[in-house]
Structure 1
Amino acid sequence: MHATNLSENSHQSSNWLEPMFIKTFCNILSAVWSFLLYFFRKNVRKVIAHQTVRYEIMPITPISRLRLNQLKKKVLVLDLDETLIHSRHDSGGLLRPSVKPDTPPDFVLKVVIDRHPVKFFVHKRPHVDFFLNVVSDWYELVVFTASMEIYGSAVCDRLDKNRGALTRRYYRQHCKVDTGSFTKDLSFVHNDLSSIIILDNSPGAYKGFPENAVPIKSWFADPFDTALLNVLPMLDALRFCNDVRNILHRNKVQHMQWQ
């Protein structure tokens, strides 16, 4: 009788433990699957955002090369925030569209502003490295940003990667204040306005020079964005003209946004 009771108790205990084991195993399996799915999605977004996209740069003909040699090399003025990069910082401030919190930044900057350390999480616009490689061969590049120099200079250093392409830089102190917003005086950058182009997401920044502007839509988070690639054909063509303003005005580029 005693042996029979022990056997029944053991069987009942086994029956009770079995579903508990299955439940625990399923919970562990679910947690592992959730982690793997999160890791996969995060890294897929990162790969998509910075995938290598080929844009065929065809060698120019001897006639075209002769034409280029007869022209002054033109200047391309580049904005930073929401044109080439998007950043967020850890010190609060205005809420703006931003990348998802779980998307890793391309680099982190630590700067001191008004004696307070501020950390910036910087995300590069898709294809910005390829874009800079291409246009640095076509133009003299100038960065003109309304951001503070201590931040803008650090961003430029990281984008330039010691290539020496982004050595000319202008910051907030070089902007003009017009009705509460910062505007960029292109004549301060170059005295020949026929040879200067500005690529900027903010029309207010170049409102005094609309015929020198190639607008581009603001970028915050879209990993499928191709605006920098889309603008390359226009920039390729502009380097062959005498006066960029004639071409931009004729095509009414100032009323377009490159998608």
Structure 2
Amino acid sequence: MLAHNRHLGNPENQRRREQAQSPIVLRAMVGIAQSIFVAIASIFNFFILLLKKSSRAYCKYQVVTYQSNIPMSPLTTHRLLSVKRKILVLDLDETLIHSHHEGVLRPMVKPGTPADFTIRVVIDRHPVKFSVHERPHVDLFLSVVSQWYELVVFTASMEVYGTCVADKLDRGRGILKRRYFRQHCTMDFGGYTKDLSAIHPDLSSICILDNSPGAYRKFPHNAIPIQSWFSDPNDTCLLNLLPFLDALRFTSDVRSILSRNQQQLQDL
């Protein structure tokens, strides 16, 4: 018995036992560390998601104004009265809104992003539900520019869809009464182009806001390009256009200003 106890108390044997137990302890510590790391990462991701949602909500509901009712000087008033009231043609998809129909979620829109409104239409005898997202500040934009221009909707979408979207954007204000749809477009180079002369024969007083250059291929000197919009809640393109559109209405021929866009492209 004494010999056996001496054998157990042998430092060499004790060291061997400790060495055998070390991998087990190490694996346990690694497992605990991994669990703690996963928990911390989950908490961090949760707070990041919460911050993003709060940021989107703030951007959507923050109050933005544009001083469009500042009294004009007599000289400015005289200048405005001496020129024709201009027409601003507005595209819908990817210019003022972005939409996708039920069951098809484009990769540009994150799953779970709530729509600003939905519409239900019948296409080829099949009911289709569209989720529509409004470009940031579109309501303010329409309210302001409708004081300066006659607004016309011109979309390459089908009339049954475009009418519903335009009605929602109008919100009963009667500012989007004139509307043109796919049947008013012409096919050119595999895409739809929009004939501005069908809206008004005097091209000096008409301009088009569209994200697709192909839509105004035949009228580049009447075009106001804008970046395509899909889901960015921080987009300010419509707001940025207000000072420019405010000034453009004073010109006698919009092409004298808008043609410079074409010239700049040629100079690049």
TM-score normalized by the length of structure 2: 0.77
Match for 1:74: what amino acid?
K
CA contact (8 A) 2:88 2:208 kept: yes
Higher alpha-carbon deviation: 43-52 or 232-241? 43-52
Shift of 1:252: 4.3
SS at match of 1:232: helix
SS at match of 2:146: helix
Is 1:70 aligned to 2:85, yes or no?
A: no
Structure 1 stretches of 4+ moved >6 Å: none
Specify the alignment match of 2:9 in structure 1. none
SS at match of 1:162: coil
CA contact (8 A) 1:214 1:254 kept: no
- Deviation readout 1:3-23 (Å, 9 max, x if unpaired): xxxxxxxxxxxxxxxxxxxxx
Specify the alignment match of 2:192 in structure 1. 182
Specify the alignment match of 1:9 in structure 2. none
> If you compute each CA radius of gyration, which structure gives the higher value, 1 or 2?
2
Specify the alignment match of 1:191 in structure 2. 201
Shift of 1:78: 0.3
| Separation in 1, partners of 2:250, 2:150 | 14
| Separation in 2, partners of 1:167, 1:110 | 21
Q: How many pairs were matched up?
A: 224
Equivalence map 1:122-137=2 (5 Å): 122-137=132-147
Is 1:53 aligned to 2:74, yes or no?
A: no
Specify the alignment match of 2:173 in structure 1. 163
| Separation in 1, partners of 2:265, 2:236 | 19
Match for 1:234: what amino acid?
F
Specify the alignment match of 1:4 in structure 2. none
Higher alpha-carbon deviation: 200-209 or 54-63? 54-63
Shift of 1:254: 7.6
- Deviation readout 1:104-144 (Å, 9 max, x if unpaired): 11001111111111111000000100000110000000000
Match of 1:228 among 230, 238, 246: 238
Specify the alignment match of 1:81 in structure 2. 93
- Cα–Cα, structure 1 residues 104 and 39, in superposed 2: closer, same or farther, change >3 Å? farther
- Deviation readout 1:158-191 (Å, 9 max, x if unpaired): 0001110000000000000012100000001111
Specify the alignment match of 1:250 in structure 2. 260
| Separation in 2, partners of 1:48, 1:178 | 39
CA contact (8 A) 1:197 1:213 kept: yes
CA contact (8 A) 1:186 1:209 kept: yes
- Cα–Cα, structure 1 residues 112 and 251, in superposed 2: closer, same or farther, change >3 Å? closer
CA contact (8 A) 2:223 2:258 kept: yes
| Separation in 1, partners of 2:100, 2:263 | 30
CA contact (8 A) 2:220 2:262 kept: no
TM-score normalized by the length of structure 1: 0.79
| Identity within the alignment, % | 62
Higher alpha-carbon deviation: 152-161 or 46-55? 46-55
Please provide the CA RMSD for this pair: 2.4
- Deviation readout 1:63-96 (Å, 9 max, x if unpaired): 111221122111000000000000111154xx75
Task: Provide structure 1 residue ranges, at least 5 long, that are not aligned to the other structure.
Answer: 1-26
CA contact (8 A) 1:213 1:253 kept: no
Task: Provide structure 2 residue ranges, at least 5 long, that are not aligned to the other structure.
Answer: 1-38
Match for 1:98: what amino acid?
M
Higher alpha-carbon deviation: 242-251 or 113-122? 242-251
| Separation in 2, partners of 1:253, 1:78 | 23
SS at match of 2:94: coil
Specify the alignment match of 2:113 in structure 1. 103
